[in-house]
Amino acid sequence: MTEITEQHLLEKLKINFGYDSFRLEQQTIIENILAKKDTLVIMPTGGGKSICFQLPALFFEGITLVISPLIALMKDQVDSLKANGISATYYNSSQSSEEQQQVFDAIANKTIKLLYVAPESLPLLQNVLNQNYISCVAIDEAHCISAWGHDFRPSYKQLSFLKKSLPEVPIVALTATADKATQEDIMQQLAISHATRYVSSFNRENISLEVRPANDRVQQIIKFIQRKPNESGIVYCLSRKATEQLASKLKQNGIDAKSYHAGLSFDERAKTQEDFIKDETQIICATIAFGMGIDKSNVRWVIHYNMPKNIEGYYQEIGRAGRDGLPSQALLFHSYADVIQLRQFISNTGNQEVQEAKLERMKQFAEATVCRRKILLSYFGELIGENCGNCDVCENPPTFFDGTVIAQKALSAIYRLQQKEAMGTVIDFVRGAKNAAIYDKGYQNLKTYGVGNDISWKDWQHYLVQLTNQGYCQIAFHLNNVLHLTDFSKKVLFDGGKVQLTTPVEFKKETKAAAKERKAKAKRTPTAKDTLFERLRKLRYSISKEEDIAAYLIFSDATLKELEIQRPQTDDEFLAISGVGQRKLDVYGGEFMAEIRTFINEKKRGKKDTTLETYKLYQEGFTIDEIADKRDLKAQTIFSHLSKLYLEGKDIALDKFIDADTLKLVANAKKVLKDEPTLRPYFEFLGEKIPYELIRIGLTILQKKTL
C-alpha cells in the first residue's frame, strides 16, 4: 500500500461520507487500523464508531468483515453504505441459498468492501475466513463477548478463534459501554491484549438533561410532544402494561404512538421497529427491550416515564437521542414510588448490594441540586470543571432557604409516630389529614398533629425527599419503607442545627381553558409549519418510500438543516454541505435543489400549484426536457407531475413515453410483486435495467386502467 496521508483520509471522508472533518479520535483510530494494529474503541452511542472501520475498509485490498449481533439491523447498515456509494452486503441465515451464493461470489471476486455477518453464521464462512479475502475484522457491540458486560451473548465466545485463523489481520473491537474490567476481558477473549485502546469522552453535549417530579406525567408528556410535531421520540416505561396504556392515551390525544415490549410477537416487534426507523411511526412507548443497535440518527428526544434502575441504563437509553449531533432532549420523571418498586425488584434478584448501590446513585442523580452532567460523567470516571449549561439545574439553579422549622416539624412527626410510618402517613400527620390511616391509630391525638397544614402535600413530599437526601432521616426499605431518624436528626431536633432546603419547582396545574384548548388541539392532527426544512423532510420521506430505505439514511436531519440554511443551487454548493458525498450529490442533488428552488420561487411570488404549471407547458406542446429546462426542474420531477395529472384525469398521453414491451414487463412485475407500493422492488425485479421514472409511468397507466 502506498502511504496514506491525512489528505487521502479527508478526501474519502468527504466523497464517501460527506463529512469535512473527523470527530473525536476518529482519525487516530483510523490511522492505527490502517497500520494493521489491533484496536479497541470505546465511544459513546452516536459518537461515530462506524466510520472508524468503514473508512479504512475503502483502503484495504480485501474485505472488512463486520461482526454485528443483530440480523434485523444489518440491512440498514448495508443500505447506509450503499447510499454512500460503497459496495457492501450481509450474510445471514435468513437469506435464500441463492442469495448466499451471491455473497460468496462477491467475496471471491472481491467486489465488496464490507461484509456484515452475525457471529452465529461465522462457521458457514470458514472457506473464506483467510487472509486472501479478509483484510480487517471489526467487532461491533464488542462488550457482548464479556460476561462482565451487561449484555453477554454466548455466540460471541467463538470470536476468540479469529485471531488464530487470521493472525496478520487487524481486529477492531468497538463498544459504547465497557468499564475497565470489561475492556480487559474483551481484549483477552479476542486474544488482542496488546491492542491500542481509545476511550473517548462520554459527554454528549447536544443532549439536554432534565428531571421533573412525576406529577400528572401523562399530561406533561402530551404537552411536551405537542410542541414537537413530526419529531421522533422514545418513551421508556418500566412495565409492558404501562407502555400500552401510555401509547393508547397518546393516540387518544391525536399523537402517533405505538407500544413495544417483549410480550409482543416477533413480527409485531419487527414491524414496530421498522415503522419507527422509517419515520412511519413518530413515537414508541417501550420497555428497555427497545433500542439496542438502532442507528436512527433523528431521534429528537427520549423520555423516561419511570426511573431506570441504574445510570448505565439511563445513559445508554438517552444516548439514542441526537446521534446526528443536533440539539436533543432527555426528560426523566422521578417518583418516589418508582424507587420503592425498583427496590422490590432488586430484592428478588442476586447481586443485591451492587444493584442497590447503583439505584442509589441513580436516585442521587434525579434529586441533584448541582449540574446533572457533572454527576453523570463523574459516574463514568470523567471530570468536567465547568457546569454544562445544558441541564435543568444549570438553567434554573435551585434557590435555598432556611428550612430549619420545616425540618423540625417533619422530624418530630417521625419521632411522634415512633418511626413506624412511611412518608405518606408522615405527611398526612403533619398536615392534619382526617383519614383512616390517622384515625385508626389515634394519631390525631398526638402532639404536633397538623402543625404543617400550611404547606401542600406535594411540597411536603419534596421537603422530605430532600431531608432524606441530606441524611436527616432515612427510608427503611427493609421495613415497608418507614421513615427512621438518624444522628443528623438529633442535631436538628435538640442541638439547634440549621437545615437548608430548596424551593419546589412550580408545575402549574392546567387551567380549564388550557385543558379545553389542549383537547381541541388533539383533534386536529398537529401540523408543522411550511418551512423549507419540512419540504425537504417530505421529499426525503417520499424518496425513502420509493427506494424502501430509512429516511435518515438518505440525509440526516443535520444535513437537511444545513440545506435549509445554505440553500445550495449548484453541484459544488450542494457537495459542500456536511453529509453530502459524491453519490448522494449524483443521486439526490437534483431533486433536493429543485425543491429548494421551488420553495424560493414560491415564496417570491406567492404559492402556485407546481403540477399545474407543468400541465400548462405540456399543453403548449413543450417536450419533457424543455419543460424541465424552463422550470429548472429535473425531467424525473416533470414525469412525476405528469403521472399525478394523468391520475387526476387530465388529458395526458402518458403511454407515449413507454413502449408496449416495457409496459408488459412492468405489468408482469406488478403481478409477481402483488402490487407492492414502493418502487425499489420493481427496479430490482426488473434487473435494475428500467429507470425509476419509466416504472412509475408504467404503474400509473396500469393503475388508471383498474380505476
* Chain position carrying cell 402549574: 508
Q: Give the span between the Cα atoms of 12 and 60, in whole angstroms.
A: 13
Query: CB under 5 A: which stretch of 368-376, 421-429, 477-485, 673-681 binds Zn ion?
Result: 368-376
Burial pattern 96-118, b for ≥16 Cβ within 10 A else e, equals eeeebeebeebbeeeebbbbbbb
Residues contacting residue 58 through CB under 8 Å, at least 6 positions apart: 12, 16, 86, 113
State CA 681 to chain mean position distance.
28
Residue 146 interface partner, choices Zn ion, ligand ADP, none, CB cut-off 5-8 Å depending on type: none
The least CB distance from residue 638 to Zn ion, in Å, is 52
Which of 55, 679 has the CB closer to ligand ADP?
55
The least CB distance from residue 395 to Zn ion, in Å, is 8
Q: What are the strands of the beta sheet with 63-67, ordered from one edge? A: 88-91, 114-117, 63-67, 134-139, 171-175, 39-42, 196-199
Residue 543's H or E segment, with its range, is helix 532-547
What would the grid cell of residue 601 be?
420561487
373 is a site residue for Zn ion (CB under 5 A) = yes
The least CB distance from residue 388 to Zn ion, in Å, is 3
Using CB under 6 A, list all residues that contact ligand ADP. Answer: 19, 22-23, 26, 43, 45-51, 295, 297, 323-324, 556
Query: CB under 5 A: which stretch of 143-151, 347-355, 363-371, 617-625 binds Zn ion?
Result: 363-371
Q: Give the span between the Cα atoms of 221 and 239, in whole angstroms.
A: 17
Which of 22, 314 has the CB closer to ligand ADP?
22
Which of 6, 395 has the CB closer to Zn ion?
395
Residue 556 interface partner, choices ligand ADP, Zn ion, none, CB cut-off 5-8 Å depending on type: ligand ADP
Burial pattern 187-218, b for ≥16 Cβ within 10 A else e, equals bebbbbeebbebbbebbbebbbbbbbbbeebe
Residue 300's H or E segment, with its range, is strand 299-304
Residue 482 interface partner, choices Zn ion, ligand ADP, none, CB cut-off 5-8 Å depending on type: none
The least CB distance from residue 372 to Zn ion, in Å, is 6
371 is a site residue for Zn ion (CB under 5 A) = yes
Question: Which of 606, 533, 612, 614 has its CA nearest to residue 567?
Answer: 533
Which one-letter amino acid corresponds to residue 479?
L
Residue 285 interface partner, choices ligand ADP, Zn ion, none, CB cut-off 5-8 Å depending on type: none
Q: Give the span between the Cα atoms of 587 and 92, in whole angstroms.
A: 29
The answer to whether residues 361 and 344 touch, using CB atoms and an 8 Å cutoff, is no
Q: Give the span between the Cα atoms of 391 and 706, in whole angstroms.
A: 58
103 is a site residue for Zn ion (CB under 5 A) = no
Which of 22, 488 has the CB closer to ligand ADP?
22
Residue of the chain from 73, 136, 391, 433 that contacts Zn ion (CB under 5 A): 391
The least CB distance from residue 319 to ligand ADP, in Å, is 8
The answer to whether residues 622 and 665 touch, using CB atoms and an 8 Å cutoff, is no
What single string gives the DSSP state of each residue in 484-495? Answer: EE-HHHHHHHHS
368 is a site residue for Zn ion (CB under 5 A) = no
Residue of the chain from 394, 594, 638, 652 that contacts Zn ion (CB under 5 A): 394
426 is a site residue for Zn ion (CB under 5 A) = no
> What are the start-end ranges of the H helices in 311-397?
311-318, 336-347, 352-366, 372-379, 392-395
Which of 53, 156 has the CB closer to ligand ADP?
53
The least CB distance from residue 298 to ligand ADP, in Å, is 9
Residue 43 interface partner, choices Zn ion, ligand ADP, none, CB cut-off 5-8 Å depending on type: ligand ADP
The least CB distance from residue 147 to ligand ADP, in Å, is 23
The least CB distance from residue 259 to ligand ADP, in Å, is 25
Residue 388 interface partner, choices Zn ion, ligand ADP, none, CB cut-off 5-8 Å depending on type: Zn ion
The least CB distance from residue 390 to Zn ion, in Å, is 6
Which of 118, 388 has the CB closer to Zn ion?
388
Pairing of strands 63-67, 207-213: unpaired
Query: CB under 5 A: which stretch of 334-342, 372-380, 543-551, 580-588 binds Zn ion?
Result: 372-380
29 is a site residue for Zn ion (CB under 5 A) = no
Provide the β-strand partners of residue 42.
175, 199
For Zn ion, the binding residues (CB under 5 A) are 371, 373, 387-388, 391, 394
